[in-house]
Structure 1
Amino acid sequence: MSLLRVPGTRELPMRVTTRRSASAVVLAVHGELDLHTHRLLTDEAEALLAQPQPQLRHLIVDLSQQTFCDSSGLGALIVIRQRAAAAGLLTTLVGAHGVMERILHRTGLDYVFVCYQSAADAERALGLTLPRLPAQDNTP
C-alpha cells in the first residue's frame, strides 16, 4: 500500500492498495486523485509494470473509493492505460460513480477504457477471479 501525506497535516488525501491474482492486478484508489497525488498512482502502476509477469493480462483500477479527480488524475489514468497497453495488458476501470462517472462520459473516456460498475461485474465479464480485500478489523 502506498500512502501520501499532506505536509503539515495528519490527513491522507490518497492511498493506493494493490491486489494480485495470476492474470489480474487491481490498483484501488482511496481518496483524491489530483495534481498533488496522481504520481502516487502512476508510480505504483509503473513499479508493477516493471516486473516481468507473463501471465498478467489485466490491470484494473478500482475507483469505488475515489472521492475527487481533476485533469491531472484523468491524465494519470490515460498514461497508465498507454503503458499497460505497451506491456500487453488491458486496463479496466471499475467503480466510477457520481462526478467521476459523468467526467468519464463527458470526456469520452468511457469509450477509451473498458468500464464496469463494480469489480464483480468486471470479474464476470472478463472471466476472472479477482483477489479479495483482506477483512478489516474495525474494533478500536
Structure 2
Amino acid sequence: MSSEAPGTSTLTVSSGLSRNAIIIRLEGELDVYALPVLREHMHHIWELPAKPFLILDLGEVAFCDSMGLNELVEVMQRCESRGTRLLLGGVHGVMARVLSITGLRHAFEVFARFDDALRLAVATL
C-alpha cells in the first residue's frame, strides 16, 4: 500500500490502439479508490468500436484488492458481451499471486509478459 492519503487513487490508466487490439496500461494500485479512475477510462473505451482483443497491461500494478479484482471480472464480462477477447499481460508478482490465490487465474487469458499477449493479438489477424 502507498503512503497516499486515504481515499486517494494512485492508479494511472493509459491506452492505445493496435490493428486489432485496444491496449490499456494500469500503473499503481488497483483498489477501491482506483475504481472511479478506471471506470471513467473504460467508459471511453466501451464507446469505441469493438476490436477483436482488449489487452490489459498489469505489469506495473503494485497492489490489487477484492474491488479491483471484481472490476477485472466486470471488464471480462463486458468484453465477452462485445465479442472481444480479453488478454491480461504483464501478470507477475502481486497480480500473479492475487489471481492464483483467488482461483481467478484460469478465468482469464494470462501472460507473464505483456509482449506475449500483444504477439498473440497481432498474430491473430
- Shorter chain as denominator, the TM-score bin is 0.7 to 0.9
What is the TM-score of this pair, normalised by structure 1?
A: 0.76
Counterpart Cα distance in 2 of 1:80 and 1:49: 10
**Correspondence for 1:59 among 54, 59, 67:** 54
Paired residues of 1:31 and 1:68 also in contact (CA < 8 A): yes
Q: In structure 2, what is the equivalent of residue 33 of structure 1?
A: 30
Counterpart Cα distance in 1 of 2:10 and 2:121: 33
Distance 1:98 1:109, change over 3 A: same
Q: Which amino acid aligns with 1:128?
A: V
1:46 and 2:40 are equivalent in the alignment: no
SS of corresponding position for 2:68: helix
Aligned residue runs from structure 1 range 119-130, under 5 A: 119-124=114-119, 126-128=120-122
Q: In structure 1, what is the equivalent of residue 78 of structure 2?
A: 83
Q: List alignment gaps of at least 5 residues for structure 1.
A: 1-5, 130-140
Cα RMSD for the two superposed structures: 2.1
**Number of corresponding residues:** 119
Q: List alignment gaps of at least 5 residues for structure 2.
A: none
Counterpart Cα distance in 1 of 2:94 and 2:61: 10
Runs of 4+ in 1 over 4 A off after TM superposition: none
Which has the larger Rg?
A: 1
SS of corresponding position for 2:58: strand
What is the TM-score of this pair, normalised by structure 2?
A: 0.84
Counterpart Cα distance in 2 of 1:34 and 1:121: 26
SS of corresponding position for 1:110: coil
